[in-house]
Chain A
C-alpha cells in the first residue's frame, strides 16, 4: 500500500519531504514486523506504538477534504435555492392543518370546558355524516401514495434527492480515487476490532491499530459533522446536513392519519 499511496501523493508532496515520508512509513512497519516476530506464543498485545504521521498528510489530505466538502455544501445550498419551485399553499391543506390544530386543542384542554360543549364539539368532529375528522373505512389514502400522485410534490422530492445524492457520490468517488491506501489520521480514543473494516478501508495491513483510519473515515466524519459549520455560514434553518435528509427519506412510512390516534 505504501507504493500506491506514495505514487499518488508524490506530485503533491514537497520534494524535500518525500524520502523522509517514505522512511517514516517504512520504519514503523519494520518495527511492527519485528515485534510480531518477538512475540512468539501468546496473542499479540495491542500495538501501543505510535505511528508518526507526516504533517504533509494534514496539509494535503485532511484540510483540502474538509474545505472541499464545505464548498460543496454551500454550492448545494445555492443550487437548491435556485431550483426551489414556489408552491402556492393549497386551501384544502391549510384547512386540514387548522382543523387538526383545533382538534388537538380540544383533546388537550378538554377538562376546561363544560361537558356539554365538549360533547357537542366531539360530535362535530367525528359524526358519521359530515364530521370534519371522520374518515370512512377504506377511503383513507396512504400518505405515500398521495405524495406520488401529486406531480409537484414528486418533482420536488426528486430534485431534493438528486441534489443530495449526486454530490455525495461524486465526492466519495473522488476520495476513494485519490486518497486511499494510506493512514490519514488517528482517532484519539481506542476502538474495538469491529471497526477495522469500516475505517481502515484502504489500508491492507491488519496489525495497524484500529485508531489509525483512512481518509474515507475522515470523509464520513465531515459528512455528518459539518452541520454546525453550515448553520454558522448559511443561517440557522439551512443547516440541514445529509443525516437529516437521509432520515427524511427513510421516514416514508409516516402516516399522518395515525398521528392523532
Chain B
C-alpha cells in the first residue's frame, strides 16, 4: 500500500537531489514504486546515472530497469532519440523480449505513429494474449486518438477477462462520464464500491452520477451516498456536505405535496448546513456571506 510517509519521503528526496545532494537512485526507485509521473526529473537524474560509467556498473542487474524507466520518461518529455538509445541498449541485452517490444510500441505511440504501434501490439498479443499491460496500452491509444467509443469497446473486452481489475473499472467509469452515459458509469462505480467499500472518492463519484441522472429514487440514493462519504471522511468533505444540501432541495422540490418524510430530511440538511458554516468560518471566512445567502435560498425554495 502506498503510504503518505513514502510520498513525503519522495518529496524530500526530490528536493535533496535537485539541490545536488546524493540519493538519486533511491529517488528513482521510489518514483517507480509509487508510479509517480515526474518525467523530467527522472530523465535528468536517470541520464546522469546512466552516463556515468561507475555509477552504472554499481547498479548491477537493476541497470536494465533504470534504462526502461528512463526510456518511459524520455517518451513523456518527447525526447525520442534518448528513448531510442535506451531501447537499443535494452534490445541488445534482451533480444525478442515482450517487455522490450512493449516499450518499442510505446515509442511509436509517443511519436504519433498509431497504425504501426497498433501492429506491434497486435503481434505481441498473439504471443501472449494474457498480458494486461498491452491491453491497456491499446485502450490508451484509442483514448489518445480521441476515439472514446473504441476505447470503451477495448476496455469492455478487457474487463470480460480481467473483471477484478479495479483500475480498469475506474477508467471505464470516467470515460462513460465524459461520454455522458451515466447509467453505465453508475454500474462501474458500483463495481468500484464493491471492491473497495471504504474508499470515499468512489462513494462521492457514485453519488454525483446518481444526482446527475435524476429522478426521485436516484436522488434519495444519492443523498445516502453523500452521507456515507461524509461519514467515511469524518465530515471533512465539503463537496459531500454540499451534495447533501442540494439533494435535499431537489427531493423536496419533487415531493412537494407529500409531508411524511420532510422531518427526517430536514434534520440531515440542517446538520449539513451547520457543518458547512463551521467549515467556512474556519477556512474561508470571507466567503461566508456567499454560503449564507445560498443556504437561505435553499430553505426558501422548499
Contact = CB atoms under 8 A, between A and B. Distances in A.
B160 to A, nearest CB: 8
B179 interface: no
Interface of B is mostly: helix
Contact of A109 (B130, B160, B162, B193): B193
Interface of A is mostly: helix
B193 to A, nearest CB: 5
19 contacts: A88-B128, A94-B130, A94-B162, A95-B160, A95-B162, A98-B162, A98-B163, A99-B163, A101-B163, A102-B194, A105-B194, A105-B195, A106-B194, A109-B193, A109-B194, A110-B194, A112-B197, A113-B193, A114-B190
Given A91-B130, A109-B197, A112-B193, A98 B187 contact: no
Nearest to B161: A95
Given A91-B130, A117-B187, A112 B161 contact: no
Nearest to A89: B130
A94 to B, nearest CB: 6
Contacts of A105: 164, 194-195
Contacts of A94: 130, 161-162
Interface in B193-247: 193-195, 197, 221, 228
B289 interface: no
A97 B163 CA distance: 9
Nearest to A106: B194
Closest 4 CB pairs of A and B: A101-B164, A109-B197, A112-B197, A98-B164
B112 interface: no
Interface of B: 128-130, 160-165, 187, 190-191, 193-195, 197, 221, 228
Given A98-B163, A99-B163, A105-B164, A113 B129 contact: no
A98 B194 contact: no
Interface in A62-116: 88-89, 91, 94-95, 97-99, 101-102, 105-106, 109-110, 112-114
Given A98-B161, A114-B221, A91 B193 contact: no
Candidate in A97, A98, A114 with the most chain B CB atoms within 10 angstroms: A114
A88 to B, nearest CB: 8
Contacts of B164: 97-98, 101-102, 105
B258 to A, nearest CB: 22
Given A98-B165, A110-B194, A113-B194, 4 more contacts: A89-B130, A98-B162, A112-B193, A113-B190
B189 to A, nearest CB: 9
B255 to A, nearest CB: 19
A112 B130 contact: no
A88 B221 CA distance: 45
B190 A102 contact: no
A101 B163 CA distance: 8
B187 A91 contact: no
B163 A102 contact: yes
A95 B197 CA distance: 23
A95 B165 CA distance: 11
A117 B187 CA distance: 8
Contacts of A112: 193-194, 197, 228
Interface in A206-224: none
Given A94-B130, A95-B161, A98-B164, A109 B221 contact: no
A88 B129 CA distance: 10
Contacts of B165: 98
